[in-house]
Amino acid sequence: MSSSTINPHNQDSRQNPTQDIRQKFEPTEPGTKVILHDTSRCTGCRQCMTACSFKNFLTYNYDLSLCKIINGPNGEFIRVQCYHCADPMCMAACPTGAIQKDPVTGIVSIDKMQCIGCKSCTWACPISIPQLQRGLKAMTKCNQCKGDPSCHKVCSAKAIQFVVRSEHRPPQPACWPLPAGEAGAGCDSNE
């Protein structure tokens, strides 16, 4: 083994294992924006769905909306949407490379000219967001209206916000809990 190879089981070969773990969960593009939905403010009016279908398909049709508002188990309204993941599984599953993540904006989009409609992205997505677009043999999903989402503009309850990802992350613990005996378990006194 070369001296530059990192061995995760050998604590001496890692400078700061807690920092390594934190980096995996941090957004890769500083300043990228995400759409957040506050269920406590949502009235279930579905204007976001109307705006989405019109922006993308020039028609008012809930079925064509790339976001969905569904009834939650406790009477709240839940928005189902693409979260433009830091490490998108849909992109990794695409056999043609039709799904790309913009390195500046963080927007994950599908090139309909490259897509073959195989649905690998839907199966790979933890919440099955990409869907087959009607009339085309290509997948579709939210692309944040290319950085200017219509949904948050029409939300009169202000339940939908378009914000910088890092500003609205939950606070991170001073040290990440790891199973006892693993490298990095417990807190570093240097942190």
The answer to the question of residue 57 being in a domain is: yes
* Separation between Cα atoms, residue 112 and residue 117, nearest integer Å: 9
131 backbone dihedrals φ, ψ, rounded to 5°: -130, 155
Q: Which residue has the higher pLDDT, 188 or 49?
A: 49
Kindly state whether residues 115 and 131 are assigned to the same domain.
yes
Q: How confident is the model at residue 33 (pLDDT cuts 50, 70, 90)?
A: confident
Kindly state whether residues 38 and 130 are assigned to the same domain.
no
Q: Of 16, 24, 38, 36, which Cα lies nearest the Cα of 169?
A: 36
Kindly state whether residues 70 and 157 are assigned to the same domain.
yes
pLDDT greater than 80 at residue 90: yes
Q: How confident is the model at residue 29 (pLDDT cuts 50, 70, 90)?
A: low
The answer to the question of residue 23 being in a domain is: no
User: What is the rounded average pLDDT of the residues 32-43?
Assistant: 92
Kindly state whether residues 40 and 125 are assigned to the same domain.
no
The domain that contains 111 carries what CATH number?
3.30.70.20
Q: How confident is the model at residue 60 (pLDDT cuts 50, 70, 90)?
A: very high
The answer to the question of residue 55 being in a domain is: yes
pLDDT greater than 80 at residue 15: no
Kindly state whether residues 93 and 123 are assigned to the same domain.
yes
Kindly state whether residues 61 and 153 are assigned to the same domain.
yes
The answer to the question of residue 154 being in a domain is: yes
Kindly state whether residues 102 and 118 are assigned to the same domain.
yes
pLDDT of residue 188: 47
Q: Which residues, at least 6 apart from 23, have a Cβ–Cβ distance to it below 8 Å?
A: none
Kindly state whether residues 76 and 159 are assigned to the same domain.
yes
Region for residue 120 given its phi and psi (left: phi exceeds 0; alpha: psi -120 to 50; beta: otherwise)? alpha
pLDDT greater than 70 at residue 88: yes
The answer to the question of residue 131 being in a domain is: yes
pLDDT greater than 60 at residue 1: no
pLDDT of residue 184: 45
Name the average pLDDT for the chain.
80
Q: Which residue has the higher pLDDT, 59 or 28?
A: 59
Q: How many domains does the chain have?
A: 2
Kindly state whether residues 100 and 119 are assigned to the same domain.
yes
Percent of all residues in the chain with a pLDDT value above 70, rounded to a whole number: 71
pLDDT greater than 50 at residue 111: yes
The DSSP code sequence of 6-60 is: --TT-GGG-S-HHHHHHHHHS-SSTT-EEEEE-TTT-----HHHHHHHHHHHSS-
Domain range for 46: 30-81+147-164
128 backbone dihedrals φ, ψ, rounded to 5°: 50, 50
The answer to the question of residue 42 being in a domain is: yes
pLDDT greater than 90 at residue 47: yes
The answer to the question of residue 91 being in a domain is: yes
Kindly state whether residues 153 and 72 are assigned to the same domain.
yes
Kindly state whether residues 60 and 154 are assigned to the same domain.
yes
pLDDT greater than 50 at residue 54: yes
pLDDT of residue 176: 44
The answer to the question of residue 37 being in a domain is: yes
pLDDT of residue 130: 97
